[in-house]
Amino acid sequence: MHYKSPVREPLILGNKDLHDITVDIARPIETKANRWWWALFAISFAAMLWLFGCIAYLIGTGVGVWGLNNSVGWAWDITNFVWWVGIGHAGTLISAVLLLFRQKWRLSINRSSEAMTIFAVVQAGLFPLIHMGRIWMAYWIFPLPNQFGSLWVNFNSPLLWDVFAISTYFSVSLVFWYMGLIPDFAMIRDRAINPIAKKIYTFLSFGWSGRAKHWQRHEVISLVLAGLATPLVLSVHSIVSMDFATSVVAGWHTTIFPPYFVAGAIFGGFAMCQTLLLIARKVLDLQDYITIKHMEYMNIIILVTGSIVGCAYLTELFIAWYSGVELEQYAFLDRATGSYWWAYAIMMTCNVISPQLMWFKKLRRNILFTFILALFVHIGMWFERFVIIITLHRGPLPSSWHDYSPTFVEIGTFVGTCGFFLVLFLLYSRTFPVIAQAELKTIVKSSSTKYNKNLHYLDAAELEKMNKINKKK
């Protein structure tokens, strides 16, 4: 019944059976948080407070507290927006696309990466709001007739497309995530001793009972949601890229943007997955479920998408030269050699060169290296968006050329969102089943070292090492 490939590494180590999984997944929720967790939480909470402070000051005083000017109307705000949205993509991708491709290794990481998606999109959503001059009028972006008569929204505007794309993306990911959570909440519920916790988890589990028919439907909707989420995830970042691609600004008006942005998003998103999971598996000791193999798989994806992004950069340059359009050519020349050349250099190094190191299996499977490289990718992807947006500082008319530099408010807002994001993720990691245990249990037979001894013989040495690590604790 379960197809067993002879040459597969185990995805679940440490001789786990169904019950062990239940226990391991429930542990973070049922036990107290360790020092690591509290330290991290304290830092990120402080950062979050800073964020809210900055936003209050911004809204109280005016957008002028940012460094923007008459030529550069967007800078850090939209850079951060695109960066966060991009990060969001990996989650949906892992759970949707890999589900469609029946990739078993997704199971131990999809829950957390979906959580990451949700929290990242929350951060992303902040920026289009606070970058408005009159945030108190923000509801006008929804198709409501305004109070002075039937003045509606403008469906030609990519910004409005964003509104639909982001809200759809957020809500659908949320639902997808939650549907997966219901059976796991049920598991927690049935283990819960504390009556209040039991009530809460009963509430959250929607009274799931695990009947055969329910499971059957559940599988169907998971599959359909995956089928819907896959084009959705591609569309969202395409639409975000259209904010630039549909404009007339040289350096923005580029037809390659949609695929290039999507690839970039996956690239950055997987890096964020790495960062979070590398911490999570340590802090919540889930090394048995999030194994080196998972890291390696993700690193391979980072390598592939990173290379795609690199190709996109080169294509851009080539097309700029090939188009013969002077403004276009100058825009790219200015990126590489103008006042923001350093940003361009950072982008190229972090996004194009560094991922290529993943060709080496040793590095691919090295945890520390993976962690550092992931950080590189974050930086690189942030600067990619910055480099694109800052093209504004030299428009078609030299008379309006003017450089830009951020104020402490902009920096604070960005750092703050990182804090906010971590706060959410840390809270999640203590209260939610961080691994889709119900789904995971379906592959125990095929992928756990306990049931499937003949998994071992592929590089047994490393397997030993891993098992040692597990024994230590």
Instruction: Please report, as residue ranges, which positions from 30 to 49 form the binding site for other proteins (by CB under 8 A).
Output: none
Stretch that binds other proteins, among 225-233, 269-277, 343-351, 372-380 (CB under 8 A): 225-233
Copy the structure tokens of residue 81. 């927006």
Cβ of residue 211: shortest distance to other proteins, in angstroms? 6
Under rule CB under 8 A, residue 6 binds other proteins: no
Under rule CB under 8 A, residue 196 binds other proteins: no
Q: Beta-carbon neighbour count of residue 100 at 10 Å?
A: 13
Q: Are 46 and 201 in contact (CB under 8 A)?
A: no
Among 403, 418, 430, 450, binds other proteins (CB under 8 A): 403
Under rule CB under 8 A, residue 231 binds other proteins: yes
Q: How far apart are alpha carbons 412 and 424 in whole angstroms? A: 18
Residues in the chain: 473
Under rule CB under 8 A, residue 411 binds other proteins: no
C-beta of 172 vs 463, nearer to other proteins? 172
Cβ of residue 344: shortest distance to other proteins, in angstroms? 13
Instruction: Please report, as residue ranges, which positions from 309 to 328 form the binding site for other proteins (by CB under 8 A).
Output: 325-327
Instruction: Please report, as residue ranges, which positions from 417 to 456 form the binding site for other proteins (by CB under 8 A).
Output: 438-439, 441-442, 445
Q: Beta-carbon neighbour count of residue 81 at 10 Å?
A: 27
Under rule CB under 8 A, residue 416 binds other proteins: no
C-beta of 6 vs 398, nearer to other proteins? 398
Instruction: Please report, as residue ranges, which positions from 111 to 170 form the binding site for other proteins (by CB under 8 A).
Output: 128, 131-135, 137-138, 140-141, 143, 146, 148-161, 163-165, 167-168
Under rule CB under 8 A, residue 202 binds other proteins: yes
Q: Are 375 and 302 in contact (CB under 8 A)?
A: no
Among 32, 35, 102, 213, binds other proteins (CB under 8 A): 213
C-beta of 210 vs 457, nearer to other proteins? 210
Distance from the first to the final alpha carbon of the chain: 34
Among 8, 125, 246, 357, binds other proteins (CB under 8 A): 246
Judged by phi (left if over 0) then psi (alpha if -120 to 50, else beta), residue 62 lies in left
In sequence order, which residues have a C-beta less than 8 Å from that of residue 342 and are 6 or more positions away? Answer: none
Instruction: Please report, as residue ranges, which positions from 163 to 182 form the binding site for other proteins (by CB under 8 A).
Output: 163-165, 167-168, 171-172, 175-176, 179, 182
Q: How far apart are alpha carbons 273 and 172 in whole angstroms? A: 20
Q: Are 434 and 280 in contact (CB under 8 A)?
A: yes
Instruction: Please report, as residue ranges, which positions from 56 to 85 form the binding site for other proteins (by CB under 8 A).
Output: 61-64, 67-71, 73-74
Size of the site for other proteins (CB under 8 A): 121
Cβ of residue 174: shortest distance to other proteins, in angstroms? 10
**Among the listed residues 255, 266, 217, the one whose alpha carbon sits nearest the alpha carbon of residue 96:** 266
C-beta of 214 vs 465, nearer to other proteins? 214
Under rule CB under 8 A, residue 329 binds other proteins: yes
In sequence order, which residues have a C-beta less than 8 Å from that of residue 410 and are 6 or more positions away? Answer: 66, 67, 75, 76, 77
Q: 290-319 burial, b for 16+ CB within 10 Å, e for fewer?
A: bbbbbbbbbbebbbbbbbbbbebbeebeee
Q: How far apart are alpha carbons 1 and 21 in whole angstroms? A: 21
